[in-house]
Every structure is written in structure tokens, then in C-alpha cells.
Structure 1
Amino acid sequence: MYRYHFKPTLAKLGIRPARWHDLPHFYASACAAQGIDIRKVSRWMGHANINTTDSIYTQLFNGSSTEDMDRLDSLAARPPAVPIPRIG
């Protein structure tokens, strides 16, 4: 399945190579990033414990720094501050 179907399909779609095991990680992370209740995702994936889904499978988008980086970009776009003269 992996060698003859999955890899060739990724190549045809122009998607970089991925391992079969990457799929559940991406699925859970994408669901979490879109705000889907982790309890639902955990149940859909067949996990007995929500902690399994949350701690193992949602790492791709957890702690996204997009908003933090936007704030830093806005700071960098400000005009430079007037330097404080050295004392001594």
C-alpha cells in the first residue's frame, strides 16, 4: 500500500514524501488548529484517553507562534527610537 499507492500519489500531487505514521499526527494537529474539540478527535481516532491524543498527536500546530511573530514584525516596522546618550 505504502510503496505502490501512497508514495506515488504524494508524488503526483507534488507533496513532499511522508511516512504513513505522519498521517494521524497531521490529522489530529489540523483538527486541533481548527478548534475542533479534542475529545471528539480523540474518539474519532479510537483513543481511550484524551491525553494520548493531546500529548502525542497534536504537536504540529500546538503553540503556534503566528500572533507572536506578527507582534514582533510590527515592533520591527516602527521607526527607530532616539538613542540615549552614554553617560560617563
Structure 2
Amino acid sequence: MQQALAGAARASVLRHVVHHPRSSHTEIVASTGVSRGSATTALRDLEQLGYLVVDGPREGRVVRYRAVDDQLAADLAALSDWLLA
């Protein structure tokens, strides 16, 4: 169950950042309802997977994120190919 929730948190965070580039951690938490801890974990995981990057320099303590569209498109195409094969 915990992994399913972690997956849901990652999906919510990713969806938010795709639709709202340059989102901060605080904005993501407020908009998605994901807990701060889950958002932190999701952001770290998504960054390690190559789906998100930090967008620009830190603004004080604020870090902003954006999606890596090419990586998302490639992986979604591969998933689609696999599902439809």
C-alpha cells in the first residue's frame, strides 16, 4: 500500500509540475494535497529519474522545478509501445 501511495504522490507531483512549470515545493504541496515529506521524496525521485530538473538558481531557500519533456515523451512512448505490443 505504501508503494502505491508513493506512486500516487509522484504522479500528482509530476502532473502538477508539467502543468505549472517553475513550481516550488510549497506550491506543489498546496496544490496537490501531498504531504511535505511525500512531496520531498517524490521530487527527489523524479529528479533522479530524469523527469524533473531544478529550473534556474535558488531564490533564497526556494527551489523551482520544471519537467523534462523529452524524457517524459520518450518514456511514455516506450510504455505505449509495450502496452500495445
Give TM-score scaled by structure 2 length.
0.37
Structure exhibiting the larger radius of gyration computed from Cα positions: 1
More helix by share: 2
Give TM-score scaled by structure 1 length.
0.36
More strand by share: 2
Tell me which of the two structures has the higher relative contact order, counting C-alpha pairs closer than 8 angstroms and 6 or more residues apart: 2
